[in-house]
Amino acid sequence: MSDYYLYPEKPILIRNNTKSNWALTVFTMVLFVAVFLFFYKDRAEFIFLLLLVLFIHELGHYIFMKMFKYENMRMLFVPMLGAFVQGSKRVYSQKESILVSLSGPIPGILFGFACLIISTYFHLSWLMLLAFIFLFLNVINLLPFDPLDGGQMLKALFIKGHERYSLLFSLISSLVLLGIGFYMEDWVFILVGMFMGIRVRSMQVTYQIHKELAILDVNYTSVYEDVSNRDYHVMKELLMEQKRTARIYNQLPNEQNDQFIAQMVDSLLVPPLLYDMSVFAKVLIMLLWLAGLLSPLVLYYFFDISWYFETI
């Protein structure tokens, strides 16, 4: 007998398709600058150059996500922390995910060296500062910690689809970022580490639910539209038992109940990943990542920038 007759039909999930809102992007950029200027009034040049570097970095992510047909995309700036680009797909490609991760830091490093060469030749102090920001921010982003771009790349390359290792990787990343933050007395690293710790707890709850779903033979590596009625109702029951946010289900107006749980089930699903990279391609990506990570050595050994420090 079909599960259509054994289980009620799952509700249709109404997806909110968000178009790119550049007005919102500009507003968050203005807010980003305003908050920085409030605390660091004498560092206006640095703040505007930082904004430019962040924008170019995120624009790289945005262009590649657009090229790979991601949906619901938007670029936002967070005062005192940084910026990010959001987007989603029904089915993710390993190759596309890695290229999206690297499309921010690698071009940023190349821009940094271009600024470095020009500023060294013409002795332009502001351009040298821009080169330093480009190189520092983008090399830091290549560090192998989640949620940095280097961590996202390594997850897509080696542990995407292996939930236990992904959870462990995120936990280690959170602890390392907290350790770096306390050692350097840098509150940005501390905040990111704390946010990661909260995310790790959420990932742990989801991992436990996924383990139970696997025992119950529920396919949670899917998109909502392909989930069977039986799998939907099993996931709904587990969510009601284990996720506090799902327990407000009965407190909502009747017309909102089904959509609320449908969205919860959708968030529980793991989007399918297409493994489309050869071993040779993976080796090339690793070499590119290492080259970017070690690029500051080029600055140390091949560029004489002593003139810059004499001008500041």
The per-residue pLDDT for range 94-135, each reduced to its tens digit, is: 999 999 999 999 999 999 999 999 999 898 999 999 999 999
User: What pLDDT score was predicted for residue 52?
Assistant: 96
Within 10 Å of residue 188's Cβ, how many Cβ atoms? 14
Dist. CA 305–CA 116, nearest whole Å? 9
More confident residue, 1 or 224: 224
User: What pLDDT score was predicted for residue 180?
Assistant: 82
Dist. CA 96–CA 277, nearest whole Å? 10
Q: 86: which strand partners?
A: 74
What's the DSSP call for residue 63?
H
Determine the average pLDDT of the residues in 25-38: 93
More confident residue, 256 or 47: 47
Q: How many CA atoms lie within 13 A of 292 on its CB side?
A: 32
